[in-house]
Amino acid sequence: MPQMSPLMWFSLFILFSITMILFNQMNFFFYKPSIMKSSSKMLMKSKNQIWKW
């Protein structure tokens, strides 16, 4: 079985790194969070916490 040269390992590493970076960027920019409705915002604002300390 032939061995890979260090330059070939490096190019393979660069290829997988670029693939991972592109995949992460695509997931980041294509992700659309669900829009909260105004009623849920009002519920969040109206909650008062009483701290006992």
Other residues' Cβ atoms within 10 Å of the Cβ of residue 43: 10
Confirm whether 42 is domain-assigned: no
Confirm whether 45 is domain-assigned: no
* pLDDT (0 to 100) of residue 49: 75
Report the number of distinct structural domains present in the chain.
Answer: 1
Q: Which residue type sits at 29?
A: F
pLDDT category, 42, cuts 50, 70, 90?
Answer: low
Confirm whether 23 is domain-assigned: yes
Q: Residue 26's domain spans which residues?
A: 7-32
Confirm whether 44 is domain-assigned: no
- pTM of the full predicted structure? 0.54
Confirm whether 48 is domain-assigned: no
The number of CA neighbours under 13 Å toward the Cβ of 52 is 0
Read off the DSSP letter of residue 36.
P
Instruction: For 1-31, write each residue's pLDDT tens digit.
Output: 578 899 999 999 999 999 999 999 999 998 8
